[in-house]
């Protein structure tokens, strides 16, 4: 079964997990951070803290969110209160920002060591969009998005990139707030109802729906189709080959 993108003027892609196979890298970096912190805290308190669940807790609490928001969500779920701190806190400082900065350091190390690939189905869809002269924008809550897209070899495929650096500069709220997506559409001069959002995270799907986008596509790479539908996806697909440009929904 296919879904036609023909009626829409702009395609807005989330980055991690949609365009690039970085969700697993982020999940591993979050696990490294939280397991280290929980072990250190448990030793101090004389009690055991369950390790971070790099599937369930990752998807429910941190996936698609800005880094510090992810830290806050996880700590709240575990009943842990920490001061917010400041963005220049040293990585590992026992503040929200310090833990978030440590996560970023773990991610950067893994990215430099292992690299990252673009998903083949994402590259094929970008090829179809190029052939149809249809613009695409990449959006990410991550400050590392441009580096990730560059390492994956697809950064030049996008008419614009709205990332965590831009979000900080403009003071935008993180997903599920639709601000990132709305800035992307505005930058291209396209009304949201004429644009598509493609997201693999529940928070991102909710953001697209709240932003009034004409089509919100949930991409289910990890078996959370029901959660994506519940968050407001108009359609859920298993891979990006199901998104076509033929007005009749057939493959070009």
C-beta atoms surrounding 113 within 10 Å: 8
* 213 contacts: CB under 8 Å, gap ≥ 6: 12, 178, 181, 185, 192, 193, 195, 196, 197
The reply to whether 14 belongs to the active site is yes
Q: Can you point out the beta strands (E) in 123-220? A: 136-139, 160-162, 195-199, 215-219
Residues in the chain: 252
Q: How many Å separate Cα 18 from the centre of its chain?
A: 8
The reply to whether 230 belongs to the active site is no
Q: How far is CA 51 from CA 56, 76, 234, in A?
A: 12, 15, 35
Which of 16, 69, 104, 163 is catalytic? The answer is: 16
Q: How far is CA 236 from CA 175, 225, 233, in A?
A: 19, 6, 7
The answer to whether residues 13 and 139 touch, using CB atoms and an 8 Å cutoff, is yes
Please give the positions annotated as active site: 14, 16
């Amino acid at each position: 079964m296919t879904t036609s993108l023909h009626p829409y003027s702009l395609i807005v892609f989330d980055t991690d997990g949609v365009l690039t196979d970085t969700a697993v890298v982020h999940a591993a970096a979050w696990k490294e951070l939280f397991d280290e912190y929980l072990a250190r805290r448990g030793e101090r308190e004389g009690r055991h803290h369950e390790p971070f669940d790099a599937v369930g807790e990752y998807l429910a609490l941190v996936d698609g969110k800005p880094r510090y928001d992810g830290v806050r969500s996880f700590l709240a779920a575990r009943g842990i209160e920490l001061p917010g701190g400041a963005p220049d806190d040293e990585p590992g400082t026992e503040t929200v920002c310090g833990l978030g900065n440590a996560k970023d350091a773990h991610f950067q190390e893994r990215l430099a060591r292992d690299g990252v690939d673009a998903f083949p189905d994402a590259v094929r869809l970008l090829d179809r969009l190029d052939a149809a002269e249809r613009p695409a924008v990449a959006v990410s809550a991550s400050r590392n998005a441009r580096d990730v897209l560059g390492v994956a070899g697809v950064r030049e495929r996008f008419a614009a990139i709205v990332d965590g650096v831009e979000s900080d500069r403009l003071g935008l709220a993180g997903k599920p707030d639709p601000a990132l997506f709305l800035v992307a559409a505005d930058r291209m001069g396209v009304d949201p109802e004429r644009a598509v959002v493609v997201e693999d995270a529940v928070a991102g799907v909710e953001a697209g729906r709240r932003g009034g986008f004409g089509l919100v596509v949930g991409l289910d790479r990890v078996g959370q189709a029901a959660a994506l539908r519940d968050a407001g996806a108009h359609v859920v697909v298993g891979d990006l080959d199901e998104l076509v440009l033929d007005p009749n929904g057939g493959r070009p």
